[in-house]
Structure 1
Amino acid sequence: MPSVLTPPYNPFIPPGQEYGAVDADSRLRDLGGFDLDQCRAALALPDLQKAVEKKLQSRIRALEKLATTAKQEGLPMQAQGE
């Protein structure tokens, strides 16, 4: 269980950096490469821009649909869902 003091995982901040995308345009660009877990983590962030929130929800639906289709067809799922 994470510590109360541990900040939530922010997929908009690249590993090894202290900052990342904060404006809507940069976040919209970044989330195109997110996997399902990254999308869910990003959606849980506070003060998320509405446009980013909507795009994340759309990407989650698309990735879930891809996973369902791949599972039904017995195909391996791609990591990025593209």
Structure 2
Amino acid sequence: MQRWCAVVGILGLVVLSGCGTSRFDRTVTGAGIGAGTGAVAGLLLGPVGIASGALVGAGVGGVTGAVTTPQQIDLGRPIYR
């Protein structure tokens, strides 16, 4: 069960990291989505913890958003724009 939750969380993070067209927008939204996904994964996985999961998720999501292009992953315009 724990392994399944981790896989779903990581896949969700990769798929959802990157709204917007500028590198800044993609990094910020990727980090935000990653932090949320990581917090949920940390809550479900127990010993990892919510804060640790959020920190790791924000890092992975931010990097994924920064290195991908809108042609690879595009979720449209960010909510805050």
TM-score, length basis structure 2? 0.31
Larger Rg over CA atoms: 1
Q: Which has the higher contact order (CA 8 A, sep 6+)?
A: 2
* Higher share in helix: 2
TM-score, length basis structure 1? 0.31
